[in-house]
Each structure stands twice: as structure tokens, then as C-alpha cells.
Structure 1
Amino acid sequence: MPHFLRQFWDSFLSPMLQRPKRFQVAALCYRESDDGRQVLLVTSRGTGRWIIPKGWPIRGLSSAQAAKQEAWEEAGVSKGSMADTSIGTYTYDKTLRNGLPVPVEAHVYPFEVKNLKKDFPEASERERKWVSPSDAAGLVQEQELKSILRDW
């Protein structure tokens, strides 16, 4: 492809054809232990890959409150201290029920866990485990989330 066509595609056409990113909230659940800080990962329902709890905003709740709700539903976090400020964002493609992928930007809120319940809404659909932040970075797939975990 000639240089001017490539430049036209990259700078004008391609951005116009991309779907805008959708917004999600995510809870970076953690605890302090004798072995240092640990992060709680859960498996996704569809693929079984390791993720942090996340979901769509909830009407009437702040982003941090919605992330806290996701931590309860997906990981069973019943008590803890949620930060009001995001520590970063990561992007990924989410496949919707209709099979189409949409770009998503997830805002990450740290959530210090004080209590976990064995019985929670998605307990039968997910596994969960505590790991070090560096081990968590090795288990998740999203590059920006890996960076957040390593830097945090």
C-alpha cells in the first residue's frame, strides 16, 4: 500500500471505524499477610482465565461502590475498605452475548479485604485464589493490568 494511503488509513479512516470504548469498574481485592500483600483473583465464567472482579457501572452507585458490589458477587468479599480513587485503567475486548467483541476500559479500585464468604452469588461459577501481586501479573492476560499489579 502506498505510503499516503497507509497514513490516511492510520490517521483518519481507522479511528472513525473503531467502536468507542465501553466503561467498566474493577476491584483489586487485596490483603496484608505475614508473607506480604496478596491479591485475590477469580476465574472468568466464560473462559476460566484469571481476572479481577469487574463489571458494568450500577445506576445510583459511584464507580467505587459498583466495583465493591462486583467484588461481592464474583468473589464473595463481604467486608473491607474500598478506595474512592482509581489506581489505573486497563483495556480489553469483551465478547457480548451476541458474539461481537467490544473494547472496554476498566477502572481499577483497590479494595482491602476484611472478610470473605464461602456462599456468594457466583460461587458455583468461579474459582478464587490469593496470590502475590507479581504472581497475579503472571496469571492475568491483559498487559495494562499486568503493569498495574507489578507497580502496585
Structure 2
Amino acid sequence: METPSGLRQAGAMPYAIVDGRVAFLLITSRRTGRWIFPKGAIEPSMTPWESAALEALEEAGVSGEIATQPIGAYRGSAGTDESVLVDIDIYPLRVEVQHEKWREMDQRLRHWAVLSEAQRLLHDAALVRLVVGLHVQLTGSLSA
């Protein structure tokens, strides 16, 4: 079942290719401390991918080249008590700059992980599926 368009969010999947290996940038959620990707409401004056890039900057302190097509979507929770379910489109973001200071640096941890570690750290099976999908798209391989 689709959520109403007003309840759709956009997220970024920050990644970099280092020494031929794909690394993903995970952040902790503010409420539970679980490893996630930056996500949030789609700003009225922005496209979904521009909003995703802004979330990556605010929540993870990274900027770079954002894809205009999502790698996929997953259902997550939103709202102050996270009681509302929303569909979140995830846009790959190739990180070009990792900032030393960013808006939510005191509220979250960030961590670079190769595929095998990202699969272990991500709590949401749908996010694991999206990470694997992007890894295969970038490398043509399932091995980290």
C-alpha cells in the first residue's frame, strides 16, 4: 500500500569508492541510535533528490553528486515519536566532500563501512537490500 504523497520522504545513500572498494557512510538515528542513512521530508521548493542531498549534508556532513533516480524505496517511521509510516526513496550520493563540521554533528555518529559491515550494522532488511543493490550496480559483484 502506497503512503499519501505528503508522507513520502527522501533519503541519501552516501558512498565512495576507495582503492577499488565501495564504502557506505552510515549515521546513527537520533532516537534509537541504530545505523541508518540520512533521510527527511521533501522540502517544498526542492526536488526529492535535492532534499536527499540536503539531508546528507545536515545529518552526515557530506556533499557530492546525487543521483536523480532512486536506487529504491523502503518503509520507515517518521514524526517526533516515529509513529507514522512513510515510504522513503533512497538516492545514491557519491561523496566528494566530507565536512569537519556540520549541523547535526553533536547528535549523530557517522561511520564508513564496506558492504559486509554495512550489512551487519543496518537493522532494516530493506536498507540492506538497497545497499546490496547499489553495490552490485557499482561493481557488478556481491563481494565486498
Structure 2, gaps ≥5 residues long: 135-144
Determine if the alignment matches structure 1 residue 106 to structure 2 residue 88.
Answer: yes
In the TM superposition, structure 1's runs of 4+ consecutive aligned residues that sit over 6 Å from their partners are none
- Deviation string, structure 1 residues 25-81 (Cα, Å, up to 9, x no partner): 010000000150000000111111100000000011000000000000001113x11
Determine if the alignment matches structure 1 residue 89 to structure 2 residue 73.
Answer: yes
Structure 1, gaps ≥5 residues long: 1-14
> In the alignment, what sits opposite 2:114?
132
d(CA) in 1 for partners of 2:127 and 2:73? Answer: 7
- Rg larger in structure: 1
Normalised to the residue count of structure 1, the TM-score between the two structures is 0.80
SS state at 1:149 partner: helix
Kept in 1, the 8 Å contact 2:28–2:108? The answer is yes
Partner residue of 2:21 out of 28, 36, 42: 36
- Which letter does structure 2 place at the counterpart of 1:42? I
d(CA) in 2 for partners of 1:59 and 1:141? Answer: 30
Using the TM superposition, name which of 26-35 and 134-143 deviates more: 134-143
Q: How high is the sequence identity, in percent, across the aligned residues?
A: 33
d(CA) in 2 for partners of 1:135 and 1:35? Answer: 16
SS state at 1:109 partner: strand
SS state at 1:68 partner: helix
> In the alignment, what sits opposite 1:12?
none
1:1-152 matches, within 5 Å, as 20=3, 22-34=7-19, 36-78=21-63, 80-94=64-78, 96-97=79-80, 99=81, 101-152=83-134
- Which letter does structure 1 place at the counterpart of 2:17? E
Distance apart, 1:151 and its partner CA? 2.3
d(CA) in 2 for partners of 1:72 and 1:40? Answer: 12
Go from structure 1 to structure 2 and tell me whether the alpha carbon gap of 1:88 and 1:45 turns closer, same or farther (over 3 Å shift): same
Kept in 1, the 8 Å contact 2:3–2:87? The answer is no
Kept in 1, the 8 Å contact 2:15–2:25? The answer is yes
d(CA) in 2 for partners of 1:143 and 1:100? Answer: 18
